[in-house]
Amino acid sequence: MPNNRPNISVPETVKDQKPVDDFFAARLADRIRMEAWRKKLTIIRGEILELAEQGSQQGLVELKRETVELARTLKRLEMLLGLADE
């Protein structure tokens, strides 16, 4: 006689699946780290531009040009990493 009862068993859990709390905690930690890097890069870029201005005041045109280019490169890095405000 065939077994016609519906299958109501609970499926097995996935062994590699992280608990939901760990997932959200990890995402929050990543966001905090990214925010910290965004702040650090903003400070670094500001200091580089300050050096460029000081070099300009002292007639060091080449220093100004290279430090401004470095600041632009940092800004592009921030944008690529999704850290820039723009």
In a domain, 34, yes or no: no
Predicted confidence at residue 70, as pLDDT, reads 86
In a domain, 10, yes or no: no
Q: For tokens 């460029």, what's the residue?
A: 52
C-alpha dist (Å) from residue 68 to 2, 33, 35, 62, 63: 80, 26, 24, 10, 8
> How many domains are there within the chain?
1
How far apart CA 46 and CA 54 sit, in angstroms, is 12
In a domain, 14, yes or no: no
In a domain, 53, yes or no: yes
Predicted confidence at residue 7, as pLDDT, reads 56
In a domain, 59, yes or no: yes
The overall pTM is greater than 0.75: no
Predicted confidence at residue 41, as pLDDT, reads 83
In a domain, 9, yes or no: no
How far apart CA 39 and CA 7 sit, in angstroms, is 55
In a domain, 50, yes or no: yes
pLDDT tens per residue across span 16-70: 655 657 878 888 888 888 888 888 888 888 888 888 788 777 778 787 788 888 8
What domain range includes position 55? 40-86
